[in-house]
Chain A
Amino acid sequence: MSLEDPQFNEQGKLQHFIDLEGLPAEVLRHILDTAEGFAGVGDRKVKQVPLLRGKTVANLFFENSTRTRTAFELAATRLSADILNVDLVSSSTSKGESLLDTLRVLESLQCDMFVVRHHLSGAADFIARHVAPHINIINGGDGQHSHPTQGMLDMFTIRRHKGEFHNLCVLIIGDIRHSRVARSDIAALRILGTGEIRVAGPRTLIPADVESLGVTFFPDIDSALQGTDVIICLRLQKERMLSATIPSSGEFFRTYGLTPERLALANKDALVMHPGPTNRGVEIAGIVADGNQSVILDQVTYGIAVRMAVMSIIIGNTENLRRQSELTATSGTPGENL
């Protein structure tokens, strides 16, 4: 991103969460460490902490996604924030209202945070650059560009099960070219200093300049799997088959599907991950998705803690900036609180 990265406020603190590309490793680690603290909240009698009490989070979904919306909803609820779901798929934008006009209307609802999901790449970045300064933006997935909270929950899952990243070999299989999850995963893995990042899939679904992302491309899945500690299968979207980038789902499974035989080629205890929803018998065999190396359901659970961390960090930073400027205005100094 450019020097004027809208993700940072004037104090250099994170205020929006749009893209992992260009974020320093310490920001990513701070999110992962904070999420550790939130991970236990769901196991308690009262599954809620009062951190964002009185704040309102609006889910602005210009593209349908029940899972992502539910995960953000639950994260906001566990932080005691109020949540507002705004379905924009079948609403004003389809009636011809411009995105900026929609934005002004939503600002008038006096929310503190927008979670934006949009089918166009760059939509969340555009909104972050034009939104009123007191509103924080989280990108819940934009086009083929980025899905930063999914990237962070994948990192959280890997770190919890495998420890630090520098000794790990991570393989991502499938449609790298159209996948915002792959893009965010690769960015985060690189920033966190992962030992080796590999990608495998049909050439038609791999970006031409894939090596410039800092990954090694393997056309053959069996050799790609050897020595891997983590395997991330991506969902094969049906529209790819319609656009004839691959012959058929059966053909894809035969060539690239993660079967028990193929999984045996990876390191013992290698993790099997998938961002969901899974297509059994297309990118992954049912027995592998349900097997004891699979952490697919853990990813869903951890996604709540990671989103809680991102929400509280960026709202906290904005609140702090506001307090600091109020204090400067009255020329006082912040007191220590024991």
Chain B
Amino acid sequence: MNSSTVHSSKIVKRWLDEMVSPLKDLIRADQPVSMIGIRRGGVDVGRYLLSKLQGDHLVLDPTLGELNISFYRDDFSTIGLHPQVGPSHVPFDVEGQHIVLVDDVLATGRTVRAAMNEIFDYGRPSRISLVVLVQRAGHELPIRADVVGVNLDVQASQYIHLDASSWQVNIGEKG
């Protein structure tokens, strides 16, 4: 089985652009809205989407919040604290807001669980929606995305990585 695949930036941008319309519906339905990306991949995806949503009469905070969820993982001793990822930065009040949480890949759901726990420590949002570029199999928690760029069918032994500098998605065997 050929285990290594690269999805070009053309394809990845198409996935991203196809997310914009359902995302607008999601935002219009509920206001005010702020977007938070999970470092690092989710921040890159969030920035891209936010730039596509500007100037469309949407009540959307133009700044992107950023979360480093290391302090909320249930397995931090195994995966480490990764200070190079940079600290969380949420420059707006989440109280009563609809928070659109953005990540690059949704798999087990543990990252999203950690992110939601962290968001609640900033305040009580009125709603949290989940937006991911790639959804894959392997859910370990009852967490699903509201907007998905693409569903990719990969083996449990494979990783999916978004390289935001080239907007390529690489799939390969886990080392």
Chain A interface (Cβ within 8 Å of chain B)? Answer: 30, 33-34, 36-41, 44-46, 48-51, 312-313, 315-320, 323, 334, 336-338
CB <8 Å contact, A44 and B77 = no
Give CA–CA (A257, B159) in the complex, Å. 61
Give CA–CA (A108, B139) in the complex, Å. 40
B47-70 to A contact mask, C-beta < 8 Å, 1/0: 000000000000000000000101
Contacts of A51 in B (CB 8 A): 71-72, 76
CB <8 Å contact, B108 and A45 = no
Give the dominant DSSP class at A's interface.
helix
CB <8 Å contact, B121 and A46 = yes
Nearest Cβ in chain B — how far from A80, in angstroms? 10
Give the dominant DSSP class at B's interface.
mixed
CB <8 Å contact, B83 and A49 = no
B79 at the interface (CB under 8 A from A): yes
Beta-carbon contacts under 8 Å, B5-64 to A: none
CB <8 Å contact, A337 and B108 = yes
Task: Please indicate which of the listed interface residues A33, A48, A323 has the most CB atoms of chain B within 10 Å of its own CB.
Answer: A33
Contacts of A337 in B (CB 8 A): 73, 75, 78-79, 108, 110-111
CB <8 Å contact, A45 and B174 = no
Interface size class of B (residues with CB under 8 A): 20 to 34
CB <8 Å contact, B77 and A319 = yes
CB <8 Å contact, A50 and B72 = yes
CB <8 Å contact, B71 and A50 = yes
CB <8 Å contact, B122 and A336 = no
CB <8 Å contact, A316 and B121 = no
Q: A336-B174, A337-B110, A338-B108 are in contact. Are A45 and B122 (CB under 8 A)?
A: yes
CB <8 Å contact, A317 and B107 = no
Other-chain residue from A36, A49, A323, A338 in contact with B71 (beta carbon distance below 8 A): A49
Other-chain residue from B77, B106, B138 in contact with A315 (beta carbon distance below 8 A): B77
Contacts of B117 in A (CB 8 A): 50
B80 at the interface (CB under 8 A from A): yes
Give CA–CA (A246, B59) in the complex, Å. 68
10 A-B pairs closest in CB distance: A33-B83, A319-B77, A46-B121, A338-B107, A49-B71, A37-B87, A316-B77, A320-B77, A34-B83, A51-B71
Nearest Cβ in chain A — how far from B174, in angstroms? 5
Give the nearest-CB partner of A45 in chain B. Answer: B123
Give CA–CA (A334, B174) in the complex, Å. 11
Nearest Cβ in chain A — how far from B156, in angstroms? 8
- Show 25 residue pairs from A and B whose CB-CB distance is below 8 angstroms, ordered by the A residue: A30-B83, A33-B83, A33-B84, A34-B81, A36-B83, A37-B68, A37-B83, A37-B86, A37-B87, A37-B88, A44-B122, A49-B118, A50-B72, A51-B72, A313-B81, A315-B77, A316-B77, A316-B80, A318-B77, A320-B77, A337-B75, A337-B111, A338-B107, A338-B110, A338-B160
Nearest Cβ in chain B — how far from A81, in angstroms? 13
Contacts of A41 in B (CB 8 A): 71
